[in-house]
Amino acid sequence: MPDLETAFQTATKAHANALITITTVLLSRYPKQIAELAIKNRLLSMSEVSRFVEAGGLMSYSANDAESYRRAATYVDKILKGVKPAELPVEQPTKFELVINLKTAKQIGLTIPQTVLYRADKVIK
């Protein structure tokens, strides 16, 4: 396992207030450890994947995974039926999800405003 503890200590010493994670092998392999270290170091943590929030991260805002996979499947279906990939339009996600972990917010002493909670698609208590 990479030396995550040292990385978080360095960030804290540099007066970091927040952590933004992107999809990498590191996040995929160690989401729980990264979330725990963010909590331990009282860093706000945001990600582009809801799995990070389910592992203890504070929040995520991203395209809906199920919708993205469904759209990808329709492209695969069209290609298998003979449509040339170059003929398919580029699509952008249209449905995004805000996921908030209230348990994590409480652990780091953060109050999430009700207006934000109302906008969330999923709230983990």
* Domain residue ranges of the chain, discontinuous segments joined by +: 4-63+96-124
CATH 3.40.605.10 fits 4-63+96-124, yes or no: no
Looking at the DSSP assignment, which residues form a beta bridge with residue 95?
A: none
| C-alpha span between 81 and 117 (Å, rounded) | 44
Q: Are 57 and 21 in contact (CB under 8 A)?
A: yes
Would you give the DSSP letter of residue 119? H
Tell me: the pLDDT tens digits for 29-57? Answer: 999 999 999 999 999 999 999 999 999 99
| C-alpha span between 74 and 76 (Å, rounded) | 5
Which pLDDT belongs to residue 26? 80
pTM, two decimal places: 0.84
Tell me: the pLDDT tens digits for 56-98? Answer: 999 999 998 888 899 999 999 999 999 999 999 998 888 899 9
| C-alpha span between 85 and 102 (Å, rounded) | 43
